[in-house]
Structure 1
Amino acid sequence: MKHISILVPNGAILGSLEGTRQLFTQVNQFAVAKGAPPMFQVQLVGLSKETPLSGGLFTAHTDVLIDEVKKTDLIIIPALDGDLRLAVEKNQDFIPWITHHYKSGAEVASLCLGAFLLASTGLLKGRSCATHWMAANDFRKWFPDVNLVTEKIITDEFGIYSSGGAFSYLNLILYLIEKYAGRDLAVLLAKVFAIELDRDTQSPFTIFRGQKEHEDEPVRKAQEFIENNFQDKITIDQLAEMHALGRRNLERRFKKATSNTVAEYIQRVKIEAAKKNLEISRKNINEIMYDVGYSDTKAFRTIFKKITGLSPIEYRNKYNKMAAVA
């Protein structure tokens, strides 16, 4: 029987904590119904017996305190709420505990914004991690030595797992249950809880918000110029000349400040405008393509799918009900 430690941090979001507990305990119920022993020992593990959640709206009663857990197989860090710096600070005592058990053989999984607590352990240094796309800029700034993969729903490296934003944590829990209990049980759970199985990207949900929380004024002005003139052909040389910088110097500073190359930033701004058009207008794909400054249909469709994970038509059908019906 695998021991599952679901952490109960101060300020955890109730949904990811309770949803995780439900899925693992449901596996046990399926097993018992077939005359087999339970597969998991599931415990809520906290720093205190009672822990406030979701901004104090709820209180969780933990099964055990961290010092009472001598050995565990899987540690799950649920999503955190509110001010993330304060949330990590309030939960500092979990950090050495997580590190100790990982080095003793336990696996560790973070759900959504729980990635901030996991990354604070240092275990993610040089490794990949997913989190909510809305927190991507902050995460990169706080943990520059972690490879943040904003498009991923699930990462799995060296016994450390993470999930993308919000309810995509359910996909990671199903992934872990499939690993520990088999595909059949994971499929059954997906059907019982109406979870879309095998989603691997959160790209269709991501809204690009260029990183502007930096001190490089010429780069910020270049970003603003791109965002205000994305319909036009913009070159790196043009931007460099406008801000009295050498091309290579601008490229280096732009990448450092925004985590995007200049070309990537231009593409992301154009595609974000195209997405908005697809969501609210009835223009055809070519009209929208020209509106955002593309003239090559193949190039536009290729870049659109690379960034969103969907073709322009698939994206429109997903988010524009009126156009899809028409």
Structure 2
Amino acid sequence: MKKIAILVPERAVAEGVTGPRYLFTTANQFLHSAGKNPVFQVQLVGKNNEVKVQDGVYSISTDRLLGDTEQYDLVIIPPIFGDITKAIKLNNEYIPWIRDQYNNGAEVASLCVGAFLLASTGLLNGKKCSTHWAYYKEFKERFPEVDIVDGGVITEQDNIYSSGGANSLWNLLLYLLEKYTNRETAILASKYFAIDISRESQAAFMMFTGQKDHNDRAIKQAQEYIEHNYQDKITVDMLARMVTLGRRSFERRFKKATDNTIIQYHQRVKVEAAKRSFESSRKNVTEVMYDSGYSDPKSFRNVFKKITGLTPLAYRKKYHRLSVDVYR
């Protein structure tokens, strides 16, 4: 019997608590129906008998308290809601508990931005981790010792697991379910819960808005120029002259401020424009390619797929709001 502790920290996202419990208890029902013994003993663990979650909108009753002396096989850390710094401070008591459970043999899994609470334990130092793509920059700044996996849906290292943003948590839960039972049970659960069991990247969901939360005015000027003229041919030397900086100094400052090289930034702006066009217009792939500043179909396809994880045509079919009419 696998003993699973689903933590109920204050300001947890409710689905991050109820979802795992629902999945593993339903898996027990699947196994029972197949004439097999249940595999999972699932308990909600918190510092109080009742915990306010999702900014106080909901309350969840716990099964066990942190002070109870119990060792688990798997500890699941749900996403936390709202201000990350305040949420971690509110849940400081969980940090040594998680560390002790891991050091005594438990596996640990964080869901989405639950990675912030997990990383606060120090257990992720020197290891790779996934979290919601919108929190990459904040996570990197807070935990520079952790190797954040760009676009990752699931990461696993040394019996520590993490998932990407939002519904990616279900992919990790299915992964763990398959590990503890078998492929057949995981596929049955994926069908029951209508989850794409094969998704490997959250890249297609990522929105590039340009990192401007810095105080380098020259770099902001260059960013704005790129964003307003992305269809044109833009060179590093041209931008450096525009902001009156030497090329090497400009490249160094741009990378430091945006976490992208100039070429990467320009590519991401162009691909973001292409994504928006695919989502909202009837233009075909060639038209969008030219509108985005590309002239070589192979180059456009390669860059687009590298950033989004999908080909331009696949992205258009998947996210175009008029795709039902266009492709029927």
Normalised to the residue count of structure 1, the TM-score between the two structures is: 0.95
Q: Once the 2 structures are TM-superposed, how far is the Cα of residue 324 of structure 1 from its aligned partner?
A: 5.2
- Counterpart of 1:246 in structure 2 is 246
Query: What is the SS of the residue equivalent to 1:321?
Result: coil
Q: Distance in 2 between matches of 1:283 and 1:165?
A: 30
Q: Distance in 2 between matches of 1:59 and 1:186?
A: 30
- Counterpart of 2:117 in structure 1 is 117
- Counterpart of 2:28 in structure 1 is 28
- Counterpart of 2:234 in structure 1 is 234
Q: Once the 2 structures are TM-superposed, how far is the Cα of residue 253 of structure 1 from its aligned partner?
A: 2.1
The share of aligned pairs that are identical, in percent, is 53
Q: Once the 2 structures are TM-superposed, how far is the Cα of residue 216 of structure 1 from its aligned partner?
A: 2.4
What are the equivalent positions in structure 2 for 1:133-148 lying under 5 Å apart?
133-148=133-148
Q: Decide whether the 8 Å contact of 2:280 with 2:321 is kept in 1.
A: no
RMSD: 1.5
Q: What do residues 72-124 of structure 1 show as CA deviations (whole Å, max 9, x unaligned)?
A: 11110011111111111101111111112212221111111111111111222
| CA separation of 1:188 and 1:222: change in aligned 2, threshold 3 A | same
2:53 alignment partner AA = L
Q: Distance in 2 between matches of 1:295 and 1:226?
A: 18
Q: Once the 2 structures are TM-superposed, how far is the Cα of residue 304 of structure 1 from its aligned partner?
A: 0.6
Q: Decide whether the 8 Å contact of 2:163 with 2:172 is kept in 1.
A: yes
Query: What is the SS of the residue equivalent to 1:166?
Result: coil
Q: Once the 2 structures are TM-superposed, how far is the Cα of residue 7 of structure 1 from its aligned partner?
A: 0.4
2:301 alignment partner AA = R
Q: Once the 2 structures are TM-superposed, how far is the Cα of residue 323 of structure 1 from its aligned partner?
A: 4.7
1:71 alignment partner AA = Q
Q: Once the 2 structures are TM-superposed, how far is the Cα of residue 144 of structure 1 from its aligned partner?
A: 2.5
Q: Distance in 2 between matches of 1:205 and 1:6?
A: 27
Task: Say how many residue pairs are matched.
Answer: 326
Q: Decide whether the 8 Å contact of 1:150 with 1:164 is kept in 2.
A: no
Q: Decide whether the 8 Å contact of 1:132 with 1:150 is kept in 2.
A: no
1:314 equivalenced with 2:319 (yes/no): no
Q: Decide whether the 8 Å contact of 1:76 with 1:108 is kept in 2.
A: yes
Query: What is the SS of the residue equivalent to 1:67?
Result: coil
- Counterpart of 1:108 in structure 2 is 108
- Counterpart of 2:50 in structure 1 is 50
1:162 equivalenced with 2:165 (yes/no): no
2:38 alignment partner AA = P
Q: Distance in 1 between matches of 2:55 and 2:206?
A: 25
- Counterpart of 1:196 in structure 2 is 196
1:286 equivalenced with 2:286 (yes/no): yes
Normalised to the residue count of structure 2, the TM-score between the two structures is: 0.95
Stretches of structure 2 that go unaligned for 5 or more consecutive residues are none
Q: Which moved more, 1:207-216 or 1:272-281?
A: 207-216
